[in-house]
Structure 1
Amino acid sequence: MSGKAIVLAVMLLNSITFVFSQNRVPTLRQDIPLDSIRLSDPFILADKKTSIYYMTGTGGMLWRSSDLKKWTGPFNPVKTDPESWMGKNPMIWAAELHDYKGKYYYFATFTNRAVKIDTVGENVIERRASHVLVSDSPEGPYVPMADPTYLPANKPTLDGTFWVDKDGKPYMVYCYEWLQNLNGTIEKIELKPDLSGSVGEGKLLFRASDSPWSRQKENGKVGPNKVTDGPYLFRTGTGRLGMIWTSWIYDVYTQGVAYSKSGTLDGPWVQENDPITPPNYGHGMLFRTLNGKWLMAIHSHKSSSGRSIRIPHLLEVDFSGDKLVVGTSYIP
């Protein structure tokens, strides 16, 4: 990652650390337009059972809307175990909501800043991992399940997402963070049938350096960026398995796409040459509206007066053919 990009990342952490806390009491707001909400890594569940849209993301809070126009929130849907590895007040990143076999699952990255697992160069690495909670309701409370950990304690992992592959088995797809391995990866791990834990070990899908579009300058040399961020899986109309994921082009937050030659998570994964979203947009996901229209939820990313500003957006998409095509902004 370029020096400027690292500075931006530090600014983000310093400016919004408070919003990660699940123990803070949020101030409830009503009828808030989407572009007035400050939210990283937006994820929207269009819940057919309640006819409500539920949105979450970094910070772990929950917003709800009946029409995608006006939102009410934030609500706190999470109840973690203070005696677990997460500690009493974990930071929560990139939360996702998934409806699966009659229950609702909360995939998120939890960080316990009091526990240090490694030091690589100048980077002190905190205990951070992707994990899954469960609820009977989309609004929570989401609580822990059987396994105390899903991924190794000595590896910083993040941005876990959910996919059921062609073998019918559920998987978590996640990032192994570049801060430790110096070349971020995207990996998979099998989950138990009820998602209450993981099975076996993680498997590499691809590395950050496989990207032809990301860029960084280090020691005077230009090459692929180190960062892998925000994977999300989809299948095109022709049955092709794709994955959107995010990295950087120098100091510009950027989203690209890869496709699996085998049509399964095992790949091999072939990266598209060019990004698929506008500059400084990233960490997208796809969802189908209650009216049947496919959209991408994504956030814009910029620095202003020493603060990082992240705003959720909706973009039109079409993947009815062989590839994902991202269109213009969607106005509900």
Structure 2
Amino acid sequence: MLLSLIKRAVLSVSLSIALAGGVRAQNAAQPVRNDIPLDSIRLSDPFILADGPSQTYYMTGTGGKLWKSKDLKKWTGPYTVAKTDPKSWMGPEPMIWAAELHAYKGKYYYFATFTNKAVKLGEGLERRACHVLVSDRPDGPYAPMKDSVYLPADKLTLDATLWTDTDGKPYMLFCHEWLQNGNGTVEKIALKPDFSGTTGPAKLLFLASDSPWSREKNKDGSDRPNKVTDGPWVFRTQTGKLGMLWTSWIYDVYTQGVAYSQSGTLDGPWIQEKEPITPPNFGHGMLFRTFDGRLLMSIHSHRGVNGRTVRVPKLFEVDDSGDKLVVGKQITNGR
């Protein structure tokens, strides 16, 4: 069990800004800095909201801090924006993973995974679940809404994102933790109209084992699909094709793939592409359109610094004009 927990920490829990793990490190107050280049920021699961009203890019991710930029080249931050309830199941200092910001009907919503290390489930696993906070502003503060939980308390969930399907209803997509079920999932659950909770049961969209490209070794040395599902992100191409980015591993290399829905809805069936969509050592990507109309992918990669592995946000050009997404060149300095 200890080895599994260590492996999971390597897979998904790297903290932003090059701090070691732990609640105190993640929640520690940090001075706000100005004019920081993107590749100087240490950040897992980078998510960028291009906010039209303020003409500002807002970036968040694991650690839950917020960075701001007018040009994608220089950033200011980190700011603390999540205001959780210390009396809730999260406890006084929850860890925050893979935070996302979504503008919807005049409000801004903070989708994230919260971990309470003091609460243990079966086999010593820490309680971890997706939850949504709300604000009137993109830079927060973000506060809880009505429902205390969005998903079953005994179900380890992570990497929530938002998609409004062809039925006009908003859904939360999330992963069920592979450490708990042995085969990670991507699932959907309907949100209440004001996002204050969920309604109805969750539905399975696909399993980690559906992947033709991810790999790991069985105990006997044979190959099998990797157990990890990580970072789902739904998109629609300009031709109307519905797709989903998601991340797993090829042995010890973090890798991102893509699947496409045959029905054009979240219900699928989801057909996995045979090969990864991005180069090796990149994962947990999302898409956003810049104020000048370019489609970019925000994603992180691993880099060794002074004997430690850190995660660094990167940007790629993307072409969505056809039925399938095409990832182009990596860009630097916002260009």
Q: SS of the counterpart of 2:180?
A: helix
Structure-2 change in CA distance of 1:19 and 1:117 (3 Å): closer
User: Hey, what's the Cα distance between the residues in 1 that align with 2:244 and 2:20?
Assistant: 28
Q: SS of the counterpart of 1:16?
A: coil
Q: SS of the counterpart of 1:179?
A: helix
Question: Where in structure 2 are there 5+ consecutive unaligned residues?
Answer: none
Checking the alignment, whether the CA contact within 8 Å between 1:2 and 1:216 is kept in structure 2 is no
Structure-2 change in CA distance of 1:6 and 1:129 (3 Å): closer
**2:238 pairs with 1:237:** yes
Spell out, residue by residue over 1:22-45, the C-alpha distance to the aligned partner (whole angstroms, 9 max, x if none).
642121110000010000000000
Structure-2 change in CA distance of 1:55 and 1:103 (3 Å): same
User: Hey, what's the Cα distance between the residues in 2 that align with 1:107 and 1:221?
Assistant: 38
Question: Where in structure 1 are there 5+ consecutive unaligned residues?
Answer: none
TM-score by length of 1: 0.94
Name the structure, 1 or 2, with higher relative contact order (CA <8 Å, separation 6+): 1
Q: How many residue pairs are counted as aligned between the two chains? A: 328
Structure-2 change in CA distance of 1:5 and 1:304 (3 Å): farther
Partner of 1:286: 287
Partner of 2:49: 45
Checking the alignment, whether the CA contact within 8 Å between 2:27 and 2:95 is kept in structure 1 is no
Checking the alignment, whether the CA contact within 8 Å between 1:233 and 1:243 is kept in structure 2 is yes
Which of these residues, 29, 36, 57, is aligned with residue 32 of structure 1? Answer: 36
Partner of 2:87: 83
* Amino acid in the other structure paired with 2:186: I
Q: SS of the counterpart of 1:328?
A: strand
Partner of 2:314: 313
**2:183 pairs with 1:198:** no
* Amino acid in the other structure paired with 1:25: A
User: Hey, what's the Cα distance between the residues in 1 that align with 2:216 and 2:273?
Assistant: 18
Partner of 2:112: 108
Structure-2 change in CA distance of 1:77 and 1:228 (3 Å): same
* Amino acid in the other structure paired with 2:40: S
Checking the alignment, whether the CA contact within 8 Å between 2:303 and 2:312 is kept in structure 1 is no
Spell out, residue by residue over 1:189-223, the C-alpha distance to the aligned partner (whole angstroms, 9 max, x if none).
00001111000111100000000000000212210
Partner of 2:299: 298
TM-score by length of 2: 0.93
Return the offset for 1:16.
2.9
Q: Give the percent of matched residue pairs that are identical in Structure 1 and Structure 2.
A: 67
Q: SS of the counterpart of 1:78?
A: coil
Equivalent residues in 2 for 1:4-43 (5 A)? 8-9=10-11, 12=14, 16-18=20-22, 23-43=27-47
User: Hey, what's the Cα distance between the residues in 2 that align with 1:130 and 1:7?
Assistant: 18
Structure-2 change in CA distance of 1:83 and 1:19 (3 Å): closer
Structure-2 change in CA distance of 1:282 and 1:17 (3 Å): same
Checking the alignment, whether the CA contact within 8 Å between 2:62 and 2:97 is kept in structure 1 is yes
User: Hey, what's the Cα distance between the residues in 2 that align with 1:260 and 1:297?
Assistant: 22
User: Hey, what's the Cα distance between the residues in 1 that align with 2:5 and 2:107?
Assistant: 43
Structure-2 change in CA distance of 1:200 and 1:10 (3 Å): closer
